[in-house]
Amino acid sequence: MILTVTPNPALDLTWRVDRLTPGATHRADAGALRAGGKGLNVARVAHAQGAPVLALSTAGGRSGIAFAADLAASGVAHRLVQVAAPTRQTVAIVDEELGDTTIVNERGANPTDAEWAALFGEVVDALPSARVLVISGSLPPGAPESFVPLLIGTARDAGVPAIVDTSGPALIRAAEAGASVLKPNAAEVADATGIGDPVGGARALIALGAELVLLSRGADGMLAVTADEVRQARLDAPLAGNPTGAGDAAVAACAVLYAQGVRDVDTVLRRATAWSAAAVPMPLAGDISDEWADLESRLVVASVLREEEP
Amino acid sequence: MILTVTPNPALDLTWRVDRLTPGATHRADAGALRAGGKGLNVARVAHAQGAPVLALSTAGGRSGIAFAADLAASGVAHRLVQVAAPTRQTVAIVDEELGDTTIVNERGANPTDAEWAALFGEVVDALPSARVLVISGSLPPGAPESFVPLLIGTARDAGVPAIVDTSGPALIRAAEAGASVLKPNAAEVADATGIGDPVGGARALIALGAELVLLSRGADGMLAVTADEVRQARLDAPLAGNPTGAGDAAVAACAVLYAQGVRDVDTVLRRATAWSAAAVPMPLAGDISDEWADLESRLVVASVLREEEP
pLDDT tens string B14-38: 999 999 999 999 999 999 999 999 9
A2-5/A25-28 β-pairing: unpaired
Q: Which of A17, A105, A109 sits opposite B25 (nearest CB)?
A: A105
Residue A236 has pLDDT above 90, yes or no: no
Geometric angle at alpha carbon B304, from B301 and B309, rounded to 5°: 160
A222-225/B10-17 β-pairing: unpaired
The answer to pTM > 0.80 is: yes
Q: Which residues of A touch B88 (CB under 8 A)?
A: 30
Q: Which residue of B has its CA nearest to A31?
A: B106
A30 touches chain B (CB under 8 A): yes
Of A77-91, A238-252, B175-189, B268-282, least confident by mean pLDDT is A238-252
Smallest CA–CA separation between A18 and chain B, in Å? Answer: 11
Closest among A299, A309, A310 to A232, alpha carbons compared = A299
A257-294 pLDDT, tens per residue? 999 999 999 999 999 999 999 999 888 888 899 999 99
Between CA B159 and CA B204 the distance in angstroms is 24
Q: What Rg do the C-alpha atoms of chain A give, in angstroms?
A: 19
Structure confidence at residue B283 (pLDDT): 80
% of residues, chain A, pLDDT over 70: 98
Q: Do the chains contact at B26 and A104, CB–CB below 8 Å?
A: yes
Structure confidence at residue A16 (pLDDT): 95
Between CA B96 and CA B210 the distance in angstroms is 41
* DSSP one-letter code for B36: E
Kindly state the average pLDDT of the residues A104-124: 96
Q: Which of B31, B93, B102 sits opposite A89 (nearest CB)?
A: B31
Smallest CA–CA separation between B102 and chain A, in Å? Answer: 4
A137 touches chain B (CB under 8 A): no
- B236 noted as active-site residue: no
Strand partners, B53: B2
Q: Which residue of B has its CA nearest to A22?
A: B102
B107 touches chain A (CB under 8 A): yes
A98 touches chain B (CB under 8 A): yes
Q: Which residues of B touch A141 (CB under 8 A)?
A: none
Band (pLDDT 50/70/90 cuts) for residue A309 is very low
In angstroms, the Cα distances linking A104 to A213, B165, B168 are 28, 32, 33
Backbone φ and ψ for A125, nearest 5 degrees, come out as -65, -35
Residue A308 has pLDDT above 80, yes or no: no
Between CA A139 and CA A7 the distance in angstroms is 6
% of residues, chain B, pLDDT over 90: 89
Contacts for B203 with CB less than 8 Å, ≥ 6 apart? B225
Structure confidence at residue B310 (pLDDT): 42
Structure confidence at residue A281 (pLDDT): 87
Mutate to test the interface with B, among A18, A89, A91 (most CBs of B within 10 A): A91
B142-173 pLDDT, tens per residue? 999 999 999 999 999 999 999 999 999 999 99
Structure confidence at residue A292 (pLDDT): 94
Structure confidence at residue A250 (pLDDT): 97
B19 touches chain A (CB under 8 A): no
* DSSP one-letter code for A108: -
Q: Do the chains contact at B105 and A26, CB–CB below 8 Å?
A: yes
> How high is the ipTM of this complex?
0.84
Closest among A242, A198, A243 to A224, alpha carbons compared = A198
Using CB atoms within 10 A of its CB, is residue B156 exposed (0-12), middle (13-18) or buried (19+)?
middle
Q: Which residue has the higher pLDDT, B217 or B126?
A: B126
Structure confidence at residue A276 (pLDDT): 95
Provide the residue count of chain A: 310
Residue A310 has pLDDT above 70, yes or no: no
A199-230 pLDDT, tens per residue? 999 999 999 999 999 999 888 889 999 999 99
In angstroms, the Cα distances linking B7 to B67, B123, B281, B285 are 14, 12, 27, 18
* Pairs of residues, one from chain A and one from chain B, whose beta carbons lie less than 8 Å apart: 99
Contact present, A245 and A41 (Cβ < 8 Å): yes
Q: Do the chains contact at B23 and A100, CB–CB below 8 Å?
A: yes
Smallest CA–CA separation between B104 and chain A, in Å? Answer: 5
CATH for A2-8+36-86+109-303 is: 3.40.1190.20
Which residue type is seen at A127?
A: L
Each domain of chain B, given as residue ranges in start order, spans 2-8+38-69+110-303
Mean of per-residue pLDDT scores for chain A: 94
Band (pLDDT 50/70/90 cuts) for residue B240 is confident
Band (pLDDT 50/70/90 cuts) for residue B100 is confident
Structure confidence at residue B219 (pLDDT): 80
Domain B2-8+38-69+110-303 fold is: UDP-N-acetylmuramoyl-L-alanine:D-glutamate ligase (3.40.1190)
Structure confidence at residue A306 (pLDDT): 62
Kindly state the average pLDDT of the residues B94-110: 93
Residue B241 has pLDDT above 50, yes or no: yes
Band (pLDDT 50/70/90 cuts) for residue A77 is very high
Structure confidence at residue A252 (pLDDT): 98
Of A283-287, B94-98, B241-245, least confident by mean pLDDT is B241-245
